[in-house]
Amino acid sequence: MSSTPDNKDPAIVGPDVIIDPELCKGCNLCTYVCPIGVLLISESLNHLGFHPAEYTGDGCTGCGVCFYACPEPGAIIVYKPPRKPKKQKEEV
């Protein structure tokens, strides 16, 4: 899932999460809701004076919870792992 799944960068194979530090307002919602705790608040400041969220870089499952929690459009992009094609039922 990205902000729109179809504009996914083909160079990125999920799961992955990308946070734009300049769009983030540091509200902490994503770090709170992430079920595995791979997001944290940076010690650095962005141009608006907020401490942006950042990804620890490992362990994201691509669940998308942070994407839906974030109130700032475009601040989080989540890349899900590619779907495996469903096995077709064998005809009898």
Binding site for ligand SF4 (CB under 6 A): 17, 19, 24-30, 34, 36, 38-39, 52-53, 60-66, 69-70, 72, 75-76, 78
Residue (76 or 92) nearer to ligand SF4, CB: 76
Tell me 4's DSSP state.
S
Shortest spacing between CB 11 and ligand SF4, in angstroms: 19
Residue (3 or 89) nearer to ligand SF4, CB: 3
- Read off the tokens for 43: 């010690």
Distances (CA, A) of 3 to 21, 32, 35, 45, 83: 16, 20, 20, 24, 18
